[in-house]
Amino acid sequence: MSLDLSTNILIVDDYKTMLRIIRNLLKQIGFENVEEATDGSDALAKLKARDFGLVISDWNMAPMTGLELLTAVRADARLKSIPFIMITAESKTENVIAAKQAGVSNYIVKPFNAETLADKIGKVFAHA
């Protein structure tokens, strides 16, 4: 799977400002097809409704966390191969390990810039 700027990307965060920041960073990289979800259950409904080529999700959300969303995506036969990047404010080792065990494609610690995001997305698609 190669990096295609027309890929549909779902960004998930319960903080509207963060959604706007991620959308703007993706736009700087060249991605235009970006949809937003404000929590894990909203994201799961959107993932089931249409095709996405990448999910970028915050870890810390309620009622459904990013890790719970990742677990649900990986457990769904139709969704399980979607690249999934987790964003977190904490780089705690146990969080990284939990995300890796749940099948995360890559991991970004806040704050980050367009260059970091582009690098992580590039690595995800290089391995896909």
Render pLDDT for 64-90 as a digit per residue (tens, 0 to 9). Answer: 999 999 999 999 999 999 999 999 988
Tell me what pLDDT residue 92 has: 84
Alpha carbons 79 and 8: distance in angstroms, whole number = 14
User: Mind listing the domains of the chain with CATH numbers?
Assistant: 9-127 (3.40.50.2300)
pLDDT of res. 30: 96
**Per-chain mean pLDDT for the chain:** 93
Query: What pLDDT was estimated at residue 127?
Result: 76
Token match 């990448």: residue? 54
Q: CA-CA-CA-CA torsion for 56, 62, 64, 65, nearest 10 degrees? A: 50
Could you tell me the strand order of the sheet in which 9-12 lies? 34-37, 9-12, 54-58, 84-88, 106-109
Whether the Cβ atoms of residue 57 and residue 11 lie closer than 8 Å to each other: yes
